[in-house]
Amino acid sequence: MTELARGRGLTGRVVSFDAAVGLGEIESTAGERHAFHCIEIADGTREIAPDTDVSFDLLHKFGRAEAANIRS
């Protein structure tokens, strides 16, 4: 089961992104790290550079929270 937590106003920075596999990680301003898949990049580009400042929501699935609806 998945649940999207929208409107929490989360912000952070992309700390890693591997374009070959489409996976990355965001560190929130609170210091928490959240994995993401490239389909969650809101503008549809499927790529985002490390060190990009972003806002995002959390998607709770499979017992963990992942970054979703990532906006730069």
pLDDT tens digits, 26-45 = 999 999 999 999 999 999 99
More confident residue, 66 or 1: 66
Q: Which amino acid makes up residue 50?
A: P
| Cα angle value 12/57/72 (rounded, 5°) | 50
Topology adopted by domain 2-71: OB fold (Dihydrolipoamide Acetyltransferase, E2P) (2.40.50)
Predicted local distance difference test score (pLDDT) of residue 1 = 40
Return the CA Rg of the chain: 11
Where do we find the tokens 């959390």?
58
Domain-wise residue ranges, the chain: 2-71
Pairing of strands 53-61, 2-18: antiparallel
Distance CA 2, CA 67 (A): 13
Mean pLDDT of the chain: 90
More confident residue, 41 or 1: 41
Distance CA 63, CA 51 (A): 27
